[in-house]
Amino acid sequence: MKIVFYGAGNMASAIFIGMIENHVVKPEQIYLTSRSQQEKIMFFKENLGVNVSYDDTELLDGADYVILASKPQSFPDVAKRIRPHLEKKTKIVSVMAGTQIKTIRRELRTENPIARIMPNTNAMVQHSVNGITYSRNFPDKDQLVELMESFGTTVVIEEDVMHNITAATGSGSAFLYFIYEKYAESLVELGFDEEEALFLTRNLVIGAGKMVEDSELPFSQLRKNITSKNGTTEAGLNALDGESIKKILTATLNAAANRSEELSKDDE
Ligand SMILES: NC(=O)C1=CN([C@@H]2O[C@H](COP(=O)(O)OP(=O)(O)OC[C@H]3O[C@@H](n4cnc5c(N)ncnc54)[C@H](O)[C@@H]3O)[C@@H](O)[C@H]2O)C=CC1
Ligand SMILES: O=C(O)[C@@H]1CCC=N1
């Protein structure tokens, strides 16, 4: 199998590192190209053994999958590179937020099968959540799902649900990291120095994540297990206004989903 990545940035690298570490593909089956970050992709070549090329004829010759992993705004340039060399057998898989299948089809001027996936950078540790939607003519969906499950969990969705998945899990880790950042800053307010605050927050998050992984209990029960009647947790939770937090998070997710919708209209 030959998998060609147009773009080798944060998202693409999380995917191919996830795939390689999980042994579903061999490094020599992966081809990378980029516009910038030449140094970074040479690092991947030297350290992972993947192929690097800037020659589109060589890249696309016999490719089974082309992964579109540039920013949506760079897609017209990427399409210009791919268009003249695209073979009929090549399946196109886009990770770009907001760029619709019909836009990809139009820019590449192709009837080839197209899938859109919405992973997240947790692919690097095989814990991405991957939304996936296909064009009607996409063959052998199981093979793509198998590839994607090497770096996470897959949910098959209709294309119009992509906006919400992009907000919920594509961007979602960034929202959680932001909360952890603020938690560490609050620990500094409490009296810890910065290094201690980061150490404590980091280990707290790792532990909580492992509890979520290992326990079947809902979040609410995990919380209740920590909360003694009239104790410290209850005092803290009383100060934490759940409804306000929910409102803030709902506004955050709506803003992200709306931006995905805007991006999809930019190119109409
Ligand atoms: N970073 C994330 O957590 C997620 C990103 N995405 C999507 O993944 C895509 C990439 O995002 P990042 O990796 O964060 O961006 P990035 O800026 O880290 O990487 C973009 C890559 O595209 C390459 N590129 C730009 N123009 C090119 C061209 N003409 N030919 C070949 N390569 C070209 C750049 O050289 C770079 O390697 C975006 O469309 C984004 O919507 C989707 C899910 C999560
Ligand atoms: O911020 C973005 O647009 C991309 C899509 C999901 C995560 N990062």
Asked if 131 and 192 sit in the same domain, the reply is no
Structural domain contains residue 28: yes
Structural domain contains residue 167: no
Asked if 118 and 74 sit in the same domain, the reply is yes
Asked if 141 and 181 sit in the same domain, the reply is no
Structural domain contains residue 268: no
pLDDT tens, position by position, for the chain (268 residues)? 999 999 999 999 999 999 999 899 999 999 999 997 688 899 999 999 999 999 999 999 999 999 999 999 999 999 999 999 999 999 999 999 999 999 999 999 999 999 999 999 999 899 999 999 999 999 999 999 999 999 999 999 999 999 999 999 999 999 999 999 999 999 999 999 999 999 999 999 999 999 999 999 999 999 999 999 999 999 999 999 889 999 999 999 999 999 999 999 866 6
Structural domain contains residue 59: yes
Q: Tell me the C-alpha distance between 98 and 264, whole Å.
A: 4
CB 119 within 8 A of CB 95: yes
Residue 12 corresponds to which amino acid? A
CATH code, domain with 194: 1.10.3730.10
Structural domain contains residue 163: no
Into how many domains does the chain fold?
Answer: 2
Q: Is 36 in the pocket of ligand 1 (CB under 6 A)?
A: yes
Structural domain contains residue 165: no
* Other CB atoms within 10 A of residue 79 CB: 20
Q: Is 166 in the pocket of ligand 2 (CB under 6 A)?
A: yes
| Residue 46: φ, ψ to 5° | -70, -35
Q: Which atom of ligand 1 is nearest to the CA of 41?
A: 37
Query: Tokens representing 13?
Result: 């690298």
Q: In what order do the strands lie in the sheet with 91-94?
A: 51-52, 30-33, 3-6, 65-68, 91-94, 114-118, 128-134, 152-156
Q: Tell me the C-alpha distance between 233 and 241, whole Å.
A: 14
Asked if 93 and 154 sit in the same domain, the reply is yes
Asked if 148 and 250 sit in the same domain, the reply is no
Does this complex have an ipTM over 0.85? yes
Q: Tell me the C-alpha distance between 18 and 39, whole Å.
A: 21
6-to-147, 251, 259 alpha-carbon distances in Å:
17, 33, 23
Q: Is 171 in the pocket of ligand 2 (CB under 6 A)?
A: yes
Give residue 248's domain range.
Answer: 172-262
